[in-house]
Structure 1
Amino acid sequence: MYQSLESFSKSWVFKRNDPKVEPEDLQKIRLLSEQRAEQIWRDYISSEHLHPDHFSDYDWLKKPDLLISKVSWEKAWDGEDMSLPGELAEHFSAWGEDTTVFFCCHNELVFELPWGVFKRSWKAFLFLDNGPILVGKKKKQAAQFHSNGLANLLLRTG
């Protein structure tokens, strides 16, 4: 179900001093096995497309009626404050600290962690900003992060 975080070629993003991921948080960041990642991707993201670059208008992430707003994350990411930007925090305010979240980069690269850990370590995850999607287990709120510094705040279907 899980594989070693060390097997991830960019595991350095979690070991930097800036942004710092605390050791107790690092232990809670789990890299899913490719098989489990494919299942989460299929169930939560897309059964048709394997990577965010390939989404079509048929994927729920591209449906205009599911887009709540677009917000900037880049200025906060560059700043000293480690807090999740206000609009993002507000969008996910119904989530508890222990809510299981999935940070989905593509069909074979998905991380599982508690929401509280993501809030504290979000800057490390956004080194991987090529369209990843954040979803919560059994939750409707979602966000897709883009390399242009914007995130789409979404409500997931199904």
Structure 2
Amino acid sequence: MSYTTLDEYQRKWIFTHQSMPLPAEDLEKIKPMTQARAAQFWKENVSPQSPDSERLSTQDWPSKASNWKDEIKWMSCWDSDEPELPEGILEHIDWQDDVTVYFCYEKYNVLETKWSVFKKHWKNFLFYDDGPILLGRRRTETLWFSTKGTVKLGNRT
């Protein structure tokens, strides 16, 4: 089995928090990977040796400046009452709503969902903003969020 239930997920509260709870139909679309599957995914798509984005090697694609075209602020949008992602992200990523996305917190913590769910509930995902990377299935565009309130917009190689 590649997934665990959301009820078993250690950070489930970010999706059920009373200030921003998700509707049941969207909760069903968030699939936490098992630790083994997450580690495999991280190794194949982010870094074969580093356990998180803070300790990436110079060989890992996210460490290469050439993969990043811009960096914008996301924190002010997160703090606002408006639900939309920052405009710069929406300009960078023009995916169909049914594209499968992977929100990678670190080697053993990866969530799979649809772009539509991430777009609608991105603030929940960013309750933990310690360097998560968003990847899309068979897509090159990527996002790398920072605790400084910025997000790098890029393309993985």
TM-score, structure 2 normalization: 0.95
Deviation at 1:75, TM superposition (A): 0.2
Partner of 1:145: 145
Gaps of 5+ in 1: none
Partner of 1:107: 107
Aligned residues: 156
Amino acid at match of 1:41: W
SS of 1:3's equivalent?
coil
CA–CA distance in structure 2, aligned partners of residues 128 and 119 of structure 1 = 16
CA–CA distance in structure 1, aligned partners of residues 4 and 11 of structure 2 = 14
Partner of 1:42: 43
Gaps of 5+ in 2: none
Deviation at 1:123, TM superposition (A): 0.2
Asked whether the 8 Å contact 1:142–1:156 carries over to 2, the reply is yes
SS of 2:88's equivalent?
helix
Amino acid at match of 2:54: D
Deviation at 1:133, TM superposition (A): 0.3
CA–CA distance in structure 2, aligned partners of residues 70 and 54 of structure 1 = 20
Amino acid at match of 1:77: W
Deviation at 1:22, TM superposition (A): 2.1
SS of 2:123's equivalent?
helix
CA–CA distance in structure 1, aligned partners of residues 109 and 84 of structure 2 = 25
Partner of 1:4: 5
Asked if 1:120 corresponds to 2:155, the answer is: no
Deviation at 1:59, TM superposition (A): 1.3
SS of 1:18's equivalent?
coil
CA–CA distance in structure 1, aligned partners of residues 84 and 24 of structure 2 = 18
CA–CA distance in structure 2, aligned partners of residues 17 and 82 of structure 1 = 16
Deviations 1:73-107 (A, max 9, x none): 000000001111100111111x1100000000111
Asked whether the 8 Å contact 1:20–1:121 carries over to 2, the reply is no
Amino acid at match of 2:134: L
Asked whether the 8 Å contact 1:131–1:145 carries over to 2, the reply is yes
Amino acid at match of 1:114: K
SS of 2:144's equivalent?
strand
Amino acid at match of 1:9: Q
Alignment of 1:5-154 (within 5 A): 5-93=6-94, 95-154=95-154
**Cα-Cα RMSD:** 1.0
Between stretches 12-21 and 33-42, larger displacement belongs to: 12-21
Between stretches 35-44 and 100-109, larger displacement belongs to: 35-44
